Amino acid sequence: MSEWARSHRWEVVLGGVLVITIVANAILSPYYLGLDNIVNLFWLSIEKIIVAVIMAFVIINGEIDLSVASVMGFSAAVLATLHESTGLPFVAAILIALAAGALAGLIQGLVVVKLQLPSLVVTLAGLIGFRGAARVLLEDRSVGEFPEWFDRLGQRALLGPFPLAVIVFGVALAIAWFVLDRTAFGRKVYVIGSSAEVSRYSGVDVDGVKIRLFVMSGLTAGFAGVLFAARLGSVRGSLAEFFELDIITMVLLGGVSIFGGSGTMLGVALAIFTVLNIRNGLGLANVDGIIQTGTVGLLLIGSVLVPNLASHIRSRLPFGGPPLSTADT
Amino acid sequence: MSSIPALSALRRLRPDRLKELSLVALIALAVIIFGLVVDGYYSGRFFNRVTTSAVIVVILAAAQALVVISRNVDLSVGSTVGVAAYLTADFLQNNSGAHPLIAVLIAVAVGAALGSINGLLVAYGGVPAIIVTLGTLALFRTLVSLYSDGANVTADSLPDWVIELNGSTIVSAGGFDLRTTFAVAIVVILGLQWLLARMRWGRRLYAIGSNPDAAAQAGIPARRLTMWSFVGSGALAGLAGFMFMVRVGTVSATAGSGLELQSVAAAVVGGVSILGGTGTVLGAFLGAILIDTLRLSLVRVPQVSEFWRDAVLGVLVLISVITDSVLTRRLSRRAGSAGVGNRMEASTQAVEPTASTAPSPITTPVGLATREESIDV
Amino acid sequence: MNPGPEPVLELRLVSKRFGATQALADVELILYRSEVHALVGENGAGKSTLIKIATGIYEPDTGTMELGGHVFDPGDPASAQRQGVAAIYQEPSIFPDLSVAENIFIGHQDRGLLVDRKRMEQDAAEVLQRLDIDLDPSQPAGALTVAGQQAVEIAKAISLDVKVLIMDEPTAALSAHEVDRLFRQVRRLKQLGVAVLFISHRLDEVFEIADRVSVFRDGRHISSRPITDVTEELMVREMVGRDPSEFFIRTPQEPGQVVLSVEDLARHGVFRDVSFDVRAGEVLGFAGLVGAGRTDVALALFGVAPADGGTITIDGQPVTIGSPTDALNHGIAYLSEDRRKLGLSMTQSVTTNITLATLDRYTLSFGLIDHEAENRDAAGLRDRLGIRTASLDTPVDNLSGGNQQKAMLAKWLNAEPRVLILDEPTRGIDVGAKAEVHRFIDELARSGMAIIMISSDLPEVLAMSDRIAIMREGSLQGIRTRDDADQESVMAMAVGVA
């Protein structure tokens, strides 16, 4: 157990912060532990946190995808356009919208892998370009009047008190944990993130894994965009604009290294719950949303700064320096 | 055959100069093409619109260039614009008699102060720039919201000179105005370009971004310089905040949101490599101008809806990154292969020519001095 | 001693130890003004450690250094440079995006706040001219050849007014023509009063350029003599002078069928006309200097940098190998010489590393990893190879060098290859671990594996191999059986004096 705690130090800290947040919230607000509030807690940021789950894979793999929010908007716009101007069955339109998201991911993945360009820049172009594509499709219109079943799926509880999207998030989290922690694919995601060259020299299909991740990222973003459309009941070209930084913040707060190779789904889940609870608690206490954002920003910086300072202080102590590697004379 | 001397003259140019020239050519080409398609395109009004609308992003692109050159990034510039714009506007609303220069100084000082927070955390705290500035992006925005308490500073509560400054013109010829704000931006850009090219610390910023290990070996004080590059980027964002106030008039707590990625895009289109070491402030300026010219020109083309502009911009960013990397790779290939004669290359070089020149995508943009310092002995 | 030469840098009784390895033991080296002093020795002789001590990267454990008669204790490379000692390496450390002139002057502390580009370029041109280097000072350094970049570093050292310039294998990546040009520059340096410490594996170059030569072996100073007093044979004998009997003795056995056969293998500009075969149960050693193309042949067989000419045959069937996956499917595994960059994923656990190349074997339905089987196999290999680790979940970074090496070997043994290529399998590990690795190589050969062993440790190659292939400058010089080979003849073929 203590071995586990030592190798999961950040998860332990986050768990502590989460417990404190929950206890404080429960004391401060009588509504906090109500079922409605708990559902609501997830509900208000549900699309972001679904995408955060896949973003964790991408960052652990040593890449980044800034385009997710734009791809959300793009897929939703594809759906709305098909619905508005073709007689296609709505289910088919949904499938095409999802395919559009996956295609967006595929294109970016191919550019990153084949041209060896930094994903930061490629997906920045994607961020601008796919948002642009959504605007091209919808201009300044708001397209709605979706089939009733679609709106209902997006807005009402489906199973017990839980709406579809919350269930999707739960399932996605479970699958993501399983894949990352238990499967060969997850193993490859880590090893490539920690050293792509070692992986290549061990016969791992580095490019294939990277492309698959970008496709999954695009597909998930597309799916989240469609869910968002259902929740809102209508789509604009600006749907989900600026979500990307929030999503990345949650992943990094979860202890995922921006340099790749480390981080756990548990950490990301705890970070998501912590962020949601801080926002929710502060919201119940009538604290402005922007302060919630600031608190999360502070946590993000602190999460890297504090361990850095700690190890700096430790290295100042005698015998605390980094171990000498063997001589290579 | 007559083109040969011209070609070799081009080849003798430094790559940064070449990039700047190609941007000028692209802007000229865009203007010519749009001039053919759009009636009355060559009007003073259009020129004035581009120059006024570009001012803020132009200054932010320069700010971004300053940090990206040394392998960092500043995602907090948009929030810094917001803080500086709001505090300055608030000051003017309460001290309407203050001299305009005082207002500029306040904006710049506020920006520099915020930048120094970023700089401290990156250079001395060992936190990657992308994480620090992602955090302060949120944090600075929170500060201004708290301070404003939801209240806007409206244009009519500001001194008259603020509104007048927005339309004020230094020289005007045939409808083409050189707006004061744009003139200031140009002076700032040229000044910064000069500083980066001529000051020793400027060249050292390039050195740090170009090869951090070699910079450490040469005894370049990487931490201090990184710190100051963030202070500079903050100060410029503060100036952009002042411009924001002048241009928009009414300042809310959300002023400047979303400018961070626009500034990165402008710098990247302007040839500032996200991997550090190359690019100029002038290039970033031209990148911003090119983007704004395209944006505003596309609106004028009858066949194209204004909604195309972002899609076109995305493609433009991608194309400029791809051409840059192809050019860079060609350069390094020349360096790598020319050594092979009847002797063989050292085995490490022969394995993977790109391995050393193409650093991993995430590590490098956010790579920072402290990571490089953990050289194992 | 008068009017004898004037000593510049004096190292006396310098020692340095890393863990179990004594990298330098009571070494003495004296460099004089206006001389080219060659330092020769095998890999592991202590040359790199000596350079790092002289340039302030390492602090010596014991011993004294004097520069121009004063105590010299640089602390870091920048201050070593300021005090007058600089080093240039096989791979130049330049700023690719800055101009030649800027690269020359970037480290100067005394050039004021403003950069006068024109003056700087004039000054650079002057320095370059003094050295007879024909380069445009305004050109970006990234566009230069390796030779050009080295020239820039030499110019930088001159502009810093260094008294001692250390050149670590500067010719390894140069063409013959470029070497001539480099030597002209070195002679210029000499005229300017600089002491040049020239480190090279190529004895012909040493004889061409050096005034004096020192031989190091196993961290000890063996001799220093004027070049005119030395013969190649003497130098080679002093370099290798170790007794092969300290090595493990191979179990004699008759090799089996030919497993891997290579004919006229080539990769443009890297190596050419390489033909050999390896039998089951045989160890084929590859000797040669660093950069002779041995690793490149291995990388071609492993599909990392595929060959562009010739044929590879396995069990009589011609095969195409375009990627490491292909190679593994054909039963070829490659243990890299660069453990940290290419061999092990340092932050990952021992088990993860051991099963990395064989992950498919542990994959159940839904892609689930069979942890139990994985840990069982990893534990088996840990016991078989004697990998000492706190647990199988420990990141390999926490293991000692020798145990890391064994973990890397375990990864490839787990792939059960027919042909195992070992690239410097005992580099940088201590004597005990080395002996264990040798025992495994013998055991693997006995079990019928075909083994290719690349090693720059000549006694090791001689002790462990059934046959020895010698490479030099990208081509195979010949293959000797163990009985026909001795240290002197192999070294002579590798350096090209035979």
Contact list, A202 vs chain C (CB under 8 Å): 324, 356-357, 411
Distance CA C176, CA C182 (A): 10
**Using the beta-carbon criterion (under 8 Å), do B339 and C178 form an inter-chain contact?**
yes
User: Per the structure block, which two tokens stand in for B91?
Assistant: 């000051």
| B39-58 per-position pLDDT tens digit | 888 888 888 888 888 999 99
* Among the listed residues A257, A299, A245, the one whose alpha carbon sits nearest the alpha carbon of residue B79: A245
Mean pLDDT split into 10-residue runs, chain A, 329 residues? 73 90 88 86 92 97 95 97 93 97 97 91 91 92 93 89 92 96 94 93 94 98 97 93 88 90 94 91 79 83 82 61 34
- CA B18 → CA A109, B9, B59, B143, C487, distances in Å? 30, 11, 22, 42, 56
Contact list, A121 vs chain B (CB under 8 Å): 268, 274, 317, 321
Distance CA B68, CA B206 (A): 10
Nearest CB to C428 within list A185, A262, A326: A326
Q: With an 8 Å Cβ cutoff, is C177 touching chain B?
A: yes
Distance CA A185, CA A206 (A): 11
Helix axes of A119-138 and A90-114: crossing angle, nearest 10 degrees: 150
Q: With an 8 Å Cβ cutoff, is B50 touching chain A?
A: no
What pLDDT band is residue B10 in, cutting at 50, 70 and 90?
A: low
Q: With an 8 Å Cβ cutoff, is B360 touching chain A?
A: yes
Nearest CB to B218 within list C106, C175, C474: C106
How many CB atoms are closer than 10 A to CB C318?
10
Nearest CB to B278 within list C97, C146, C305: C97
pLDDT at B365 over 50: no
Question: Best mutation site among B274, B345, B347 for testing chain C: the one with the most C CBs within 10 Å?
Answer: B347
| B167-211 per-position pLDDT tens digit | 888 888 878 888 899 999 999 999 999 999 888 888 899 999 999
For β-strands C271-279 and C317-319, DSSP reports them as unpaired
Q: With an 8 Å Cβ cutoff, is B121 touching chain A?
A: yes
Instruction: Give the DSSP H/E element, type plus range, for residue A163.
Output: strand A162-163
* Among the listed residues C305, C491, C99, the one whose alpha carbon sits nearest the alpha carbon of residue B13: C99
pLDDT at B335 over 70: no
Contact list, C178 vs chain B (CB under 8 Å): 339, 341
For range C393-422, the mean pLDDT: 92
Distance CA C87, CA C53 (A): 11
Q: With an 8 Å Cβ cutoff, is A86 touching chain C?
A: no
The SS3 call for residue B179 is strand
Q: How many Cα neighbours within 13 Å face the side chain of C259?
A: 23
Query: At A143, phi and psi to the nearest 5?
Result: -105, 125
**Using the beta-carbon criterion (under 8 Å), do A129 and B317 form an inter-chain contact?**
yes
Distance CA C414, CA C382 (A): 11
Q: With an 8 Å Cβ cutoff, is C102 touching chain B?
A: yes
Q: With an 8 Å Cβ cutoff, is A4 touching chain C?
A: no
**Using the beta-carbon criterion (under 8 Å), do C97 and B210 form an inter-chain contact?**
yes
Q: Which tops the pLDDT comparison, A7 or C59?
A: C59
Contact list, B12 vs chain C (CB under 8 Å): 136, 138
- CA A147 → CA A89, C200, C281, C386, distances in Å? 10, 78, 72, 67
pLDDT at B372 over 50: no
What pLDDT band is residue C352 in, cutting at 50, 70 and 90?
A: very high
Q: Residue B46 in contact with residue B200, Cβ under 8 Å?
A: no
Which regions of chain C carry the CATH code 3.40.50.300?
7-240, 244-495
SS3 track for chain C? CCCCCCEEEEEEEEEEEECCEEEEEEEEEEEECCCEEEEECCCCCCHHHHHHHHCCCCCCCEEEEEECCEECCCCCHHHHHHHCEEEECCCCCCCCCCEHHHHHHCCCCCCCCECCHHHHHHHHHHHHHHCCCCCCCCCEHHHCCHHHHHHHHHHHHHHCCCCEEEEECCCCCCCHHHHHHHHHHHHHHHHCCCEEEEECCCHHHHHHHCCEEEEEECCEEEEEEEHHHCCHHHHHHHHHCCCHHHCCCCCCCCCCCEEEEEEEEEECCCEEEEEEEEECCCEEEEEECCCCCHHHHHHHHCCCCCCCEEEEEECCEEECCCCHHHHHHCCEEEECCCHHHHHCCCCCEHHHHHCHHHHHHHECHHHEECHHHHHHHHHHHHHHHCCCCCCCCCEHHHCCHHHHHHHHHHHHHHCCCCEEEEECCCCCCCHHHHHHHHHHHHHHHHCCCEEEEECCCHHHHHHHCCEEEEEECCEEEEEEEHHHCCHHHHHHHHHCCC
What does the pLDDT read at residue A187? 95
Q: With an 8 Å Cβ cutoff, is B94 touching chain A?
A: no
ipTM of the complex: 0.84
Nearest CB to C174 within list B15, B203, B339: B339
For range C454-467, the mean pLDDT: 88
Distance CA C495, CA A237 (A): 69
User: Residue A171 belongs to what domain range?
Assistant: 48-265
Q: How many Cα neighbours within 13 Å face the side chain of B89?
A: 32
For C244-495, CATH number out of 3.40.50.12280, 1.10.10.10, 3.40.50.300, 3.40.50.10490 equals 3.40.50.300
Q: Is residue A276 part of a domain?
A: no
Q: Residue C350 in contact with residue C333, Cβ under 8 Å?
A: no
Name residue C271's beta-bridge partners: C267
What distance in Å separates residue A290's CA from the closest CA in chain B? 5
What does the pLDDT read at residue A303? 81
Q: Residue A262 in contact with residue A256, Cβ under 8 Å?
A: yes
Q: Residue C461 in contact with residue C285, Cβ under 8 Å?
A: yes
Distance CA C120, CA C97 (A): 17
What does the pLDDT read at residue B43? 85
Query: If you count residue pairs, one on A and one on B, with CB atoms under 8 Å apart, how many are there?
Result: 184
Q: Is residue A14 part of a domain?
A: no
CATH 3.40.50.300 fits C7-240, yes or no: yes
What pLDDT band is residue C433 in, cutting at 50, 70 and 90?
A: confident
Which residues are CB-neighbours of B337 under 8 A, at least 6 positions away?
B353, C269
Q: With an 8 Å Cβ cutoff, is C344 touching chain A?
A: yes
Q: With an 8 Å Cβ cutoff, is C304 touching chain A?
A: yes
| C483-495 per-position pLDDT tens digit | 888 888 888 888 7
| C87-118 per-position pLDDT tens digit | 988 777 889 888 899 899 887 766 667 778 88
Distance CA B63, CA B270 (A): 13
| C190-245 per-position pLDDT tens digit | 998 999 999 987 788 899 999 999 999 888 999 999 999 998 878 878 887 655 45
Residues 183-202 of C with CB under 8 A from B: none
Which residues are CB-neighbours of B96 under 8 A, at least 6 positions away?
B158, B159
Which class for C441: exposed (0-12), middle (13-18), buried (19 or more C-beta within 10 A)? buried
| B264-300 per-position pLDDT tens digit | 999 998 989 888 888 999 999 999 999 888 888 887 8
CA-nearest residue to A328 within chain C is C428
Contact list, B202 vs chain C (CB under 8 Å): 115
The SS3 call for residue A188 is helix
Q: Is residue A55 part of a domain?
A: yes
- Mean pLDDT (chain C, rounded): 88
* Among the listed residues C35, C87, C85, the one whose alpha carbon sits nearest the alpha carbon of residue C224: C35
Distance CA B110, CA B117 (A): 11
Q: With an 8 Å Cβ cutoff, is A328 touching chain C?
A: yes
Q: What's at C322, amino acid-wise?
A: G
**Using the beta-carbon criterion (under 8 Å), do B199 and C115 form an inter-chain contact?**
yes
Which residues are CB-neighbours of A185 under 8 A, at least 6 positions away?
A179, A209, C367
Beta-sheet strand order (sheet of C164-168): C85-88, C164-168, C195-199, C36-40, C212-217, C220-226
Q: With an 8 Å Cβ cutoff, is A234 touching chain C?
A: no
CA C339 to chain centre: 13
What distance in Å separates residue B352's CA from the closest CA in chain C? 7
pLDDT at C431 over 70: no
What does the pLDDT read at residue C430? 67
What domains does chain B contain, in order, with CATH numbers?
A: 15-324 (1.10.3470)
What does the pLDDT read at residue C221? 92
**Using the beta-carbon criterion (under 8 Å), do A262 and C48 form an inter-chain contact?**
no
CA C239 to chain centre: 16
Contact list, C430 vs chain A (CB under 8 Å): 326
Contact list, B217 vs chain C (CB under 8 Å): 77-78, 93
Distance CA C107, CA C100 (A): 13
Number of structural domains in chain A: 1
Chain B partners (3+ C-beta pairs within 8 A): A, C
Contact list, A6 vs chain C (CB under 8 Å): none
Q: Is residue A204 part of a domain?
A: yes
Name residue C17's beta-bridge partners: C22
What does the pLDDT read at residue B26? 86
What does the pLDDT read at residue C318? 95
CA-nearest residue to C94 within chain B is B214
For β-strands C36-40 and C195-199, DSSP reports them as parallel
Q: With an 8 Å Cβ cutoff, is C291 touching chain B?
A: yes
**Using the beta-carbon criterion (under 8 Å), do C145 and B332 form an inter-chain contact?**
no
Question: Best mutation site among C356, C396, C398 for testing chain A: the one with the most A CBs within 10 Å?
Answer: C356
Strand ranges, E, within chain B: 169-173, 176-179
Angle at C86 between CA C80 and CA C87, to 5 degrees: 130
What does the pLDDT read at residue B39? 84
pLDDT at C20 over 60: yes
Q: With an 8 Å Cβ cutoff, is A199 touching chain C?
A: yes
Distance CA A57, CA A210 (A): 10
Which residues are CB-neighbours of A286 under 8 A, at least 6 positions away?
none
CA-nearest residue to A194 within chain C is C345
Which residues are CB-neighbours of C343 under 8 A, at least 6 positions away?
A198, A201, C335, C336, C404, C408
B336-359 b/e (C-beta count within 10 Å ≥ 16 → b) = bebbbeebbbbbbbbbbbeeebbe
**Using the beta-carbon criterion (under 8 Å), do A301 and B135 form an inter-chain contact?**
yes
For β-strands C195-199 and C475-481, DSSP reports them as unpaired
CA-nearest residue to A62 within chain B is B362
What distance in Å separates residue C176's CA from the closest CA in chain B? 7
Distance CA B259, CA B261 (A): 6
Q: How many Cα neighbours within 13 Å face the side chain of A130?
A: 37
Which class for C303: exposed (0-12), middle (13-18), buried (19 or more C-beta within 10 A)? buried
**Using the beta-carbon criterion (under 8 Å), do B325 and A117 form an inter-chain contact?**
yes
Q: With an 8 Å Cβ cutoff, is B83 touching chain A?
A: no
pLDDT at B110 over 80: yes
Helix axes of A46-60 and A184-194: crossing angle, nearest 10 degrees: 60
**Using the beta-carbon criterion (under 8 Å), do A125 and B317 form an inter-chain contact?**
yes
Q: Is residue A38 part of a domain?
A: no
**Using the beta-carbon criterion (under 8 Å), do C401 and A325 form an inter-chain contact?**
yes
What distance in Å separates residue C230's CA from the closest CA in chain A? 25
What distance in Å separates residue B140's CA from the closest CA in chain A? 8
Distance CA C416, CA C449 (A): 9
Q: With an 8 Å Cβ cutoff, is A321 touching chain B?
A: no
Residues 67-126 of A with CB under 8 A from B: 111-112, 115-122, 124-126
pLDDT at C296 over 80: yes
Highest-scoring range by mean pLDDT, A7-16, B316-325, C15-24, C375-384: C375-384
CA-nearest residue to B314 within chain A is A129
Name residue C37's beta-bridge partners: C197, C212
